[in-house]
Structure 1
Amino acid sequence: MLATFAVALVRGVHRIVDVAWGLAFTAVALVTWTLSAGYGDDTRRLAVTLATCLWGLRLAVHIARRGRGHGEDPRYARMLARAPGRPALYALRKVYLLQGALVWLVSLPVQAAAYLPEGVDVLLVAGLVLWAVGLTFEAVGDHQLARFKADPAHRGRVMDQG
């Protein structure tokens, strides 16, 4: 997240932190894969790493495409306009460091799973099925929302179906 903050300062736009969110989970999964070598079950380690990387990369690509060609995200523009003192340091504290801490916290199950000694079991299979269902719902929902927003007749409306 610190590297993302540096890039955001150079580019003058903080919306890239949203792309970095998915990439950060991918990075945690890959680092965990590397550090857990020789400890956990290799099949479980691979499954958890691949599932996390696929989810993180899909999310990052989706958000990058959605934001391409746009300026600053209005949420960040409003937040920084009200920031006390130096807006860049405020963004570092309130956005980047907070999201970095949340990535670490949310990814704790991924990190722990890499060290489990058990091989393929019911929980791993159930987790992968749940992951696949969730990823499918997320991708379909993102696609439906993009189509909805692309229709000029929906300008200013909220998508409440699908």
Structure 2
Amino acid sequence: MHVMPWAIGQGGQLLALWLFMVVVMTLGWAWQQRHANAGIVDVLWAFGLACAAVWMAVAGSGAPTARLLVGVLGAAWGLRLALHLWVRVRGEAEDGRYRALREHWQGRQWKFFAFFQFQALLVVLFALPWLAVAGHPAPAAWQLGLALAVWIVAVAGEALADAQLARFRNDPGNRGKTCRSGLWRYSRHPNYFFEWLHWCSYAIAAIGAPLAWLGLLGPVVMYLFLRFISGIPFTEQQALRSRGEDYRDYQRRTPMLFPWFPKN
């Protein structure tokens, strides 16, 4: 069976990334044992993706412009998110989602270890769109410009949503209440929406690449995870536990993910 040299090289890139993330997530698992705070996994996931973007750009074989886009934009997005999450993890008690998971698993650390290692695999999965872009031999100027424009809107929107929620949470008078101001008036999860939109920029940049279809994995897989698996379902279950009828009213009035005007 004939194997193309580029396929071997890309396989090596992904293997090296996975081994790196195994070490990172193992250290994170040990940290959460000492601090009883599994929220560190989200910090390391974002940090790992920032590292993955740089690695794909450095080891990629595509045009310098395509590799630069991946390295700069992917790293900037991942580091901003990692820093934002680290401030929360360092300064607050364990997120209610993880407290519920800890109770459900009865503190079994082997389950937490498996969970952390699963996140290592997810970093590799979400690095695939960057692999496609970094291997693009000649991206058009229009698609790089459009990808950059979408990225700017997405990252600015996510940062604004995070800042609005942090300001709301920091007011003791809002304890037990639901944020309905700013972007949170138009979506129950505007931060998730802009995180999903961010991945669309790489799908645009991958158009015409040999592995262009991998670029679509970002928005498709991220939507599936946010909507059905680890994003919105866990977040809303915790919101209902902590805010009850106030959050049920918010659910009835406000769109779930994609922003739109609330119902009266």
Q: What range is the shorter-chain TM-score in?
A: 0.7 to 0.9
Gaps in structure 1 of 5+ consecutive residues = none
Structure 2 partner of 1:117: 137
Question: 2-side partners of 1:35 and 1:11: how far apart?
Answer: 36
Question: Shift of residue 159 of structure 1?
Answer: 1.0
Confirm or deny that 1:22 pairs with 2:42: no
- Offset from partner CA, 1:33-57 (integer Å, 9 cap, x none): 2221xx2101110111110100000
Question: Shift of residue 131 of structure 1?
Answer: 0.6
Please identify, of 104-113 and 68-77, the stretch whose mean Cα deviation from structure 2 is larger.
68-77
Question: Shift of residue 10 of structure 1?
Answer: 4.3
Gaps in structure 2 of 5+ consecutive residues = 1-24, 183-264
Pairs within 5 Å for 1:11-90: 11-36=35-60, 39-83=61-105, 87-90=108-111
Confirm or deny that 1:147 pairs with 2:171: no
Question: 2-side partners of 1:8 and 1:151: how far apart?
Answer: 28
Question: 2-side partners of 1:153 and 1:11: how far apart?
Answer: 28
Question: 2-side partners of 1:155 and 1:48: how far apart?
Answer: 40
Question: 2-side partners of 1:62 and 1:30: how far apart?
Answer: 20
Please, which of 95, 100, 113 is the counterpart of residue 92 of structure 1? 113
- Offset from partner CA, 1:115-149 (integer Å, 9 cap, x none): 11014522221111101000000011111111111
Larger Rg: 2
Q: Conserved in 2, the CA contact under 8 Å of 1:41 and 1:117?
A: yes
Q: Conserved in 1, the CA contact under 8 Å of 2:54 and 2:70?
A: no
Question: 2-side partners of 1:122 and 1:65: how far apart?
Answer: 37
Question: 2-side partners of 1:139 and 1:127: how far apart?
Answer: 18
Question: 1-side partners of 2:82 and 2:180: how far apart?
Answer: 24
TM-score normalised to the size of structure 2?
0.55
Q: Which 4+ runs in 1 deviate beyond 6 A? A: none
**Higher RCO (C-alpha under 8 Å, 6+ residues apart):** 1
Confirm or deny that 1:136 pairs with 2:156: yes
Question: Shift of residue 4 of structure 1?
Answer: 2.1
What is the DSSP-based 3-state SS (H/G/I as helix, E as strand, rest coil) of the residue aligned with 2:91? Answer: coil
TM-score normalised to the size of structure 1?
0.87
Question: Shift of residue 69 of structure 1?
Answer: 2.8
Please, which of 162, 176, 191 is the counterpart of residue 156 of structure 1? 176
Question: 1-side partners of 2:91 and 2:162: how far apart?
Answer: 18
RMSD, matched Cα: 1.8
